[in-house]
A and B are shown apart, each in its own frame.
Chain A
Amino acid sequence: MKNARHVLRLAAILVVGVTSFIVVRRLLVPATFGEIGHYRAAAIEQIKSKPVRHAGADACVDCHSDVSDLKSTSKHAGIHCESCHGPGAAHAEDPDSADARPTRHLAQPRRLFCGACHSESISRPPFMRQVHLEIHYPKQPCTDCHQSHHPEVEK
């Protein structure tokens, strides 16, 4: 044992290390951890308290019924306003505020924006109208011919 003093000291350090880990662990684990699952139960309340950014389609219809009526008869009827215009809770709360106003059209260039759903792809469902953006009137904005809220072209 005389020649093993360094080993004993090392073992002591390991024991102290493991013991302090156990003690520190008790202090570090949040109080509500594990109550429901492998997470801090209080996190749910914390997340719930965050401000809501989306208002939902009904809030838009209250004021923009003309647009909603038009859209309801079109192929875009199933697409919610905020899908293209972005979150609108702030705007619904304060319709006059310029800062809170949702984007009029999601952004330029609109051709790419429309292409997110309408560019040719064999794996899209066939009811979604698809075009080759490169050959379908490549220089023109889509909205020259299609109204976003009622995109069917009248013949």
Chain B
Amino acid sequence: MIDSHLINEFYEALERVSGYIYPNEIELQWSVLIVLYPYITGLVAGAFILASLVRVFKVDEMAPAYRLALLTSLAFLLVAPMPLNAHLGHPERAYEILVTPNTNSAMAMFGFVYLWYLTIVLLLEVWFDYRKDIVILSKTKPAPLRWFYKILTLGVDDISPRALALDDKIGRAITVIGVPSAVLLHGYVGFIFGSIKAIPWWSTALMPIIFLFSAMVSGIAAVMVIYMFSCWLRGEQIVGARMKCVDTIARYLLVSLIVSFSLEALEMIQKAYEAEEHYDITVVMLEGMLYLSMLVVQVFLGSIVPMIFLGFVRIANVHERVRKAVYAVSSLLILLGVLAMRWNVVIGGQFVSKSFRGITTYKLGIAGREGLLSAAIILILPVLILAVLVKLFPPWESADKPTEATAGDPIS
């Protein structure tokens, strides 16, 4: 006897497709959780690259946000495998990709890319950067928190200038390794999409680079929002050094946004000019189901509007308060735009049938393992983890103290 529930689902699915599609294309295999996976890893890589600008490339204006960027990167990285686990099911088998590595499969190598980035890059960098604080906290905090810090000191409480100088040297070396690792992490995610020959919407050598730049854009925007929000939460005005910090973040945000947008536009223009056999159906998709998420949200609201906003405050002599508002709004729009970009890539790529003569749709459920609620939890979780991390490892430094610069200064 066939399960009547399955039969109903089959009919429901039939109503959702148009044109000719193959039977195995009715249901999208990669759901909203796979949309979140590149989004979250993008935030990790972007936030880390921002931190490395301070550490390696000596962009000292952004020093007040350096540690926050590191913790943001760590918080999101801890959650990065969750959408994959939730999507695949059987998280109890997740360790298998590590114990039986398949070097022929880019997707199966994720465990190693992830482990490298988490342990060798981020955890070590955070540890070396915070070691002095950890030692101090292990002596000043009451038990049982003290024991936690005590364990983290590894039993060594040497914070002599020579030991700290060594920490700084090693930390810098790790960041130098970290930059290519961040590029590898997100370039890798783009590589996976770019190497899927069956889906022309994905299959381009530009994909890793597009993903990388959109990662930088989203990561920098996320740090901007989190930094401004945390200043507001702590009741600290964004003036002086802090204002310089957000101005500099905005500058890098604008540059990476322009590069990212140009790359995406180039890819689309090239696709349109080549007009290969899959192009007609792509246009049907763009004018239909992707119109709102791609043309309106990703391109207009998420790229063009913030680009105009951020560009305008660079050129015009704008008051600090307006600048801050522009930065906050632009960053939020960019975060939304990059999320829409991930949606358009992941979900959009699966709409078109391999026959190039039909389109399927995607119905996002509310509940369930791959529903909207799971996605919302996975997106909120890193913020909660970040709140705990910030509590345990305060990222606020003395350099964060506002300088004597007066509020209302035009951009320098």
CA distance A102 to B2 in the complex (A): 7
Measured CB to CB, the closest approach of chain B to A37, in angstroms, equals: 10
User: In the bound complex, do residue A103 and residue B1 qualify as a contact, i.e. CB atoms below 8 Å apart?
Assistant: yes
Given A38-B100, A38-B102; A3-B158 close (CB under 8 Å): yes
Residues of A21-64 contacting chain B, CB below 8 A:
21, 24-25, 28-29, 33-34, 38
User: What does the 1/0 interface line of B145-156 toward A look like (CB < 8 Å)?
Assistant: 000000001111
User: In the bound complex, do residue B162 and residue A103 qualify as a contact, i.e. CB atoms below 8 Å apart?
Assistant: no
How many residues of A are counted as interface, with CB atoms below 8 angstroms from the partner's CB atoms? Answer: 34
Partner of B162, one of A3, A100, A116: A3
Question: Is A6 in the interface zone, CB < 8 Å from B?
Answer: yes
Partner of B99, one of A10, A25, A124: A25
Which residues from A are CB-within-8-Å of B160? 3
Measured CB to CB, the closest approach of chain A to B172, in angstroms, equals: 14
User: In the bound complex, do residue A123 and residue B357 qualify as a contact, i.e. CB atoms below 8 Å apart?
Assistant: yes
Partner of A6, one of B11, B104, B153, B358: B153
Measured CB to CB, the closest approach of chain A to B371, in angstroms, equals: 25
CA distance A6 to B153 in the complex (A): 8
How many residues of B are counted as interface, with CB atoms below 8 angstroms from the partner's CB atoms? Answer: 33
Which residues from A are CB-within-8-Å of B7? 103, 106-107
User: In the bound complex, do residue A113 and residue B154 qualify as a contact, i.e. CB atoms below 8 Å apart?
Assistant: no
Given A33-B100, A115-B14, A124-B20; A9-B155 close (CB under 8 Å): yes
Which residues from B are CB-within-8-Å of A116? 14
Measured CB to CB, the closest approach of chain B to A130, in angstroms, equals: 11
User: What does the 1/0 interface line of B348-386 toward A look like (CB < 8 Å)?
Assistant: 000000010110000000000000000000000000000
Which residues from A are CB-within-8-Å of B158? 3, 5-6
Which residues from B are CB-within-8-Å of A4? 163, 166
Given A9-B155, A29-B100; A3-B163 close (CB under 8 Å): yes
Question: Is B95 in the interface zone, CB < 8 Å from A?
Answer: yes
User: In the bound complex, do residue A107 and residue B100 qualify as a contact, i.e. CB atoms below 8 Å apart?
Assistant: no
CA distance A143 to B141 in the complex (A): 79
Which residues from B are CB-within-8-Å of A103? 1-2, 7
Most buried by A among B4, B20, B99, B163: B99
User: In the bound complex, do residue B358 and residue A123 qualify as a contact, i.e. CB atoms below 8 Å apart?
Assistant: yes
User: In the bound complex, do residue A102 and residue B1 qualify as a contact, i.e. CB atoms below 8 Å apart?
Assistant: yes
Question: Is A79 in the interface zone, CB < 8 Å from B?
Answer: no
Which residues from A are CB-within-8-Å of B11? 107, 109, 112-113
Which residues from B are CB-within-8-Å of A34? 100
User: What does the 1/0 interface line of B90-101 toward A look like (CB < 8 Å)?
Assistant: 000001101110
Question: Is B186 in the interface zone, CB < 8 Å from A?
Answer: no
Question: Is B274 in the interface zone, CB < 8 Å from A?
Answer: no
CA distance A29 to B102 in the complex (A): 13
A residues sitting closer than 8 Å to B (CB atoms) are: 3-7, 9-10, 13, 21, 24-25, 28-29, 33-34, 38, 86-87, 99-103, 106-107, 109, 112-113, 115-116, 121-124
B residues sitting closer than 8 Å to A (CB atoms) are: 1-2, 4, 7-8, 11, 14-15, 19-20, 95-96, 98-100, 102, 104, 124, 127, 131, 153-156, 158, 160, 162-163, 166, 170, 355, 357-358
Given contacts A5-B156, A86-B1, 14 further A-B contacts (CB under 8 A): A3-B166, A6-B163, A9-B154, A9-B156, A10-B127, A29-B99, A38-B102, A99-B1, A101-B1, A107-B8, A121-B19, A121-B357, A121-B358, A123-B19
